[in-house]
Structure 1
Amino acid sequence: MAVNLSKGQKVDLTKTNPGLVKVKVGLGWDTNKYDGGSSFDLDATAFCLNGSGKVNSDSDFIYYNNKSNTNGAIQLSGDNQTGEGAGDDESLTIDLNQVPANIEKVAFCITIHDAASRNQNFGQVANAFVRILKDGTNEELIRYDLGEDFSIETAVVVAELYRHNGEWKFSAVGSGYRDGLAGLCRDFGVQV
């Protein structure tokens, strides 16, 4: 049975699931009905961060134009440009044993593509979630539903997977950004 988290909660991932090596991080969302003249394109991104909370290089930024980190331990499924349908809209698979030792944290984010020019924000997004599944069986281990706490934000740090005393933990973050992907890149040390 999956553990449902609220914003700010943390839970052990590998300690409570001995032998867990590969996980799938599924992210999903819906958009509210509106006629703004442009379709929504939300994107899942991941930032592989060192102990200072920054990427070691731009290749540690995983998104639709860079679908894996340097050694391939973290892989993005692809770019779902409509978000239609039930379940995960985009996902990442992670081989926990292969994540480089200099990566202490992986931040998972959802951004709205071209939000400023399309006049879109997370106030128009509903049912956003992140979940951790056991790769292979798709058994849901952890789930965090973001709720409707956002309005003018155009990007959200949804959750983090991080190392602690040799184990992997999961943190439900839910932190919004008004300046979208560019703001995330700036804060995480990606050159844009």
Structure 2
Amino acid sequence: MAINLQKGQRINLEKSNGSKLQNVCVGINWGAIEKKGMFGFGSKKEAVDLDASCALYDDGKNMREVVYFGNLKSKNGSVKHSGDDLTGDMGGDDGLDNEVITLDLGALDPAISYVAFVLNSFRGHDFGTIPFASIRIYEGSPKRVNEVFATYDIANGAGFAGHVSMVMGVFYKKNGEWKFNAIGEPTKDRKLEETVRTVTERYL
């Protein structure tokens, strides 16, 4: 399953050995903005607060719950958030994810049929002004990456500049099998509630 998805691609989550993908992570890595000092002398770092969130829906596309910085795990513990990073990397790219959401597909409430991942810039920093910001969706755990199957570069990717929110992708259940839709599209929303509404209306 060595797949690097392009935007809009859908994949079946069966691995090459025939087993089903079980543990999925969505990791976000980003940096603080460097601000030049007066007359070009010196510089200082401006903290950037990106927020990864996950919305769970039933078969009727009714939202059941949202896992985000204010609610770090789903009711049954199948979705967990690593916690809110308020600054981004202050000293350059350390290569580590600042926020990770883990999803255990096998432990999800059977009533859940859609799991959508979104990203919001909490203080309204335009994605295009952030020095580096990348997303990877992979099999494994926050400490071990087995196989990456979707990556997005939102600091440099065409279309992200001028936006502060995006839909990363949606896992969905079809005939009892989990599949993944790599959406990777910015939205015009400003806040998490608006972005979740956009997902409900357009991406399920």
Q: TM-score range by the shorter chain?
A: 0.7 to 0.9
Gaps of 5+ in 1: none
> Are residues 1:72 and 2:73 paired?
no
Deviation string 1:95-140 (CA, Å, 9 cap, x unpaired) is 211111221111111111121xxxx212223442222122374212
> Are residues 1:163 and 2:144 paired?
no
Give distance in 2, aligned partners of 1:113 and 1:3.
31
- In structure 2, the residue matched to 1:179 is 189
Q: Aligned partner of 2:102: which letter?
A: T
Give distance in 2, aligned partners of 1:107 and 1:31.
26
Shift of 1:157: 0.6
| Percentage of pairs with the same residue | 30
- In structure 2, the residue matched to 1:105 is 114
Give distance in 1, aligned partners of 2:182 and 2:102.
18
Shift of 1:64: 0.6
Are the structure 2 counterparts of residues 31 and 52 from structure 1 closer, same or farther at C-alpha, using a change threshold of 3 Å? Answer: farther
SS in 2 for 1:159: strand
Larger Rg: 2
RMSD, matched Cα: 2.5
Give distance in 1, aligned partners of 2:144 and 2:32.
29
Higher relative contact order (CA 8 A, sep 6+): 1
Gaps of 5+ in 2: 37-43
- In structure 1, the residue matched to 2:21 is 20
Give distance in 1, aligned partners of 2:22 and 2:112.
16
Shift of 1:167: 1.7
**Selected match of 2:127 from 112, 122, 126:** 122
Matches within 5 A, 1:32-51: 33-34=34-35, 38-51=46-59
Give distance in 2, aligned partners of 1:37 and 1:83.
10
